[in-house]
Amino acid sequence: MEDTLIREGDNLDITKERRNATFRVKKLAAFIHGGEEIVRRRKEIYDAVEREPRLKNSVPIEFLAREERHEEQARRAVAMTDVATDIIDGSDMFGEGIYYQSLIMGRDLHSLSLHYSMVLPAIQNQADDEQLDEWLGPIISRSLISTYAQTELGHGTNLSKLETTATYDPKTQEFILHSPTITATKWWPGALGKSSNYAIVMAQLYTNGKWHGPHPFFVQLRDAETHMPLKGVTVGDIGPKLGINGSDNGFLRFNNFRIPRKTMFMKNAKVLPDGTYVPPKHAKLGFGAMVFVRSIMIKDQSMQLGSAITIAVRYSAIRRQGEIVPNSGEVQILDYQTQQLRLFPQISRTLAFLFAAYEVKDLYLRVTTQLQEGNTELLPELHGLSSGLKSVVSWETAQGIEQCRLACGGHGYSQASAFPEIYSYAVGGCTYEGENIVMLLQVARQAFLGLVKIVSSIRAGTAKLSLLTSYIAEKQPKTRSKFTCVENVSAEDLIADFEYAAREQIFYAYDLLKKNETLYSTPEEAWNKTGIELCKASRLHVKAFLVRNYFNYVSKCNDSEIRPILDQLGKLYALDGISGGGVWFTRRGYYSDDQMATVRQGIYSLLEKIRPNAVAIVDAFDFSDRELQSVLGRRDGNVYENLLKWAQQNPMNRSEISTAYIKHLKPMMTEGKSKL
């Protein structure tokens, strides 16, 4: 098939792969990204970024010391936002915004990351009209820099137990912010350390001697002219991290720091001048901004896995090592079935996660419209879906990236591969915006009306279920329907398999919880003793959604050229999940041993079918070399000569003799010679 990625001077092996593809890359790219117009816009944005000299870096960022990296990322962040309105649609953060930023900032955050991704949406959704008039202009004009300070040294995901206090003084109409303990120190907020002069601060609200739970406040931290911390504020950088070191993640403490009454967000909950507390109409109205961030996060995670698998597949197509048939010459490592099993399921996961992100975004937009009309019916369901997906997607993305790195052998360990940057960036998603296990327990306890509540209502005959949970009430099949080869397995059958596994585990966890309630003195202790099984139930519930959503999304494709590819990848995603989670599918004899053997054979058959198209499929993810920042994953496949060029840019190679040699090694050898 014709492939515009083929150019003169490319590596011959990668060119052969592209010529052997059975479909046109641009067709699959259009489906993956949501249409030809979006792919065209991506190219326009890329070209505009390439033309702007301020958006380039002169040296690979991996070679910069941390303070240099922070400065470079701040420089590019300012330049990026200077020209953003000339290049992208600022209202499309989910699409053009993420793509634009990834081209410029790479896998790093910067001084304005949370300013736009968390503070701006929070102000738009939680500030009253007066606050909106006061705060929105400075946020958009960048006349201040803001961040979101929630996590503390002692508490992160458990928002209800944050220790920072905001006590209202009706005499002065001020809140007194205070950090009463060391563990109350705000810790981790991006751009807090040295960049931000304002922050949304989550603190426990007290008025007239009563506690009202955590509430957000928009707080000035530093002087607008000198940038020095205000009296009563202690703030700084927390130091180097596993990744994302362009961002000055910070710490923050308050010592009886007074702020005006109107710095508390007042659209939902309110504190009147006399200290009277007016609660929000709905307790979960604040979830909207969190869901928005998670919808972006799920897409971002899928793109990180997509980057990793693009690099690994391309490199596996040009790397030759070993012989399958003796004396026949070294083969591309992509020809090894073991390599295919490591890599190809990561392609299917990338698409499953991306299509799920699209669904969450659409649900978010629908819920946002409903909230404006006072309808909160779908909000708990959306919160649960985003919580569960956040947990499953970030975990499997981190595992998938590591498999891609290992599949590239020793070169995958080098920063030149981009794997260390991709992994250290993506793995943070397992803990920020909610620690993964806690998220799964939330799905079990609250989300989707609560899996536990659903089982109880089903058994009582009073269940009112949504499209996402209706399968839980369906009659249990006794055994798997006929499955003898991968050709005769349907999407409907595979969806039913995952729903069976999820349903079985949900009921099992529920029954165990009820049993534990009779064995332990408190409901909380019984819940703790059932936590592992509840997490498994939530995880399977989310996986059932991912499989169902994948095939539902792909059903929109009627193109005979790319539909077979999408079906193959969907089946591989499902069968790999069944093979890896065998115990869940063999319960009560649902899958027989022979059928599980058929699953494995089906996987091997799919690996063989996907192999000729592997490079073209990852090409359809539409990652430029600028995005990948990987010598191993270069479009042209010319890896080895460029690995040498990359190494020669290393600042250590500016001099033939290092200071370490002059100061320490040479004196040691001189002393050694004197003793001979």
Gap between the Cα atoms of 484 and 489, Å rounded = 8
Could you tell me where the DSSP H helices lie in 481-530? 491-519, 523-529
The token pair that represents 476 in the structure block: 């249990």
DSSP tally for the chain: helices H, then strands E: 25, 11
The token pair that represents 516 in the structure block: 């534990």
Cα of first residue to Cα of last residue in the chain, in angstroms, is 70
CA 553 to chain centre: 20
For residue 440, count other CB atoms closer than 10 A to its CB: 27
What is the phi-psi region of residue 7: left when phi exceeds 0, alpha when psi lies from -120 to 50, beta otherwise?
beta
List CB contacts of 659: < 8 A, sequence separation 6 or more.
none
Gap between the Cα atoms of 308 and 298, Å rounded = 16
Is 151 labelled a binding residue?
A: yes
What is the phi-psi region of residue 10: left when phi exceeds 0, alpha when psi lies from -120 to 50, beta otherwise?
beta
Gap between the Cα atoms of 551 and 566, Å rounded = 9
For residue 120, count other CB atoms closer than 10 A to its CB: 18
Residue with tokens 């991996």: 62
Gap between the Cα atoms of 290 and 200, Å rounded = 14
Residue 408 backbone dihedrals phi, psi, to 5 degrees: -100, 10
Name the CA dihedral angle for 230, 234, 235, 240, rounded to a multiple of 10 degrees. Answer: 160
433 catalytic residue (yes or no): yes
Gap between the Cα atoms of 348 and 426, Å rounded = 18
The conformation of residue 480, written as its DSSP 8-state character, comes to P
Q: Residue 180: exposed, middle, or buried by beta-carbon count in 10 A (0-12, 13-18, 19+)?
A: exposed
> Which candidate, 420, 390, 300, 316, places its Cα nearest to that of 350?
300
- Name residue 204's beta-bridge partners: 165, 214
* DSSP run (H or E) holding 159: none
3-state secondary structure of 300: helix
Report the side by side order of strands in the sheet with 186-187.
Answer: 186-187, 250-254, 233-237
> Which candidate, 62, 10, 4, 3, places its Cα nearest to that of 641?
10
* DSSP run (H or E) holding 270: strand 270-271
Name the CA dihedral angle for 657, 659, 664, 666, rounded to a multiple of 10 degrees. Answer: 20
The DSSP line for 114-150 is HIIIIIHHHHHHHS-HHHHHHHHHHHHHTSS-EEEE-
Residue 505 contacts residue 533 (beta carbons within 8 Å) = yes
Q: Residue 557: exposed, middle, or buried by beta-carbon count in 10 A (0-12, 13-18, 19+)?
A: middle
List CB contacts of 653: < 8 A, sequence separation 6 or more.
647
Is 157 labelled a binding residue?
A: no
Residue 187 contacts residue 152 (beta carbons within 8 Å) = yes
What is the phi-psi region of residue 629: left when phi exceeds 0, alpha when psi lies from -120 to 50, beta otherwise?
left
Q: Which of 359, 381, 433, 627 is catalytic?
A: 433
3-state secondary structure of 234: strand
Give the annotated binding-site residues for FAD. Answer: 151, 190
Binding residues: 151, 190
Active-site annotation, residues: 433
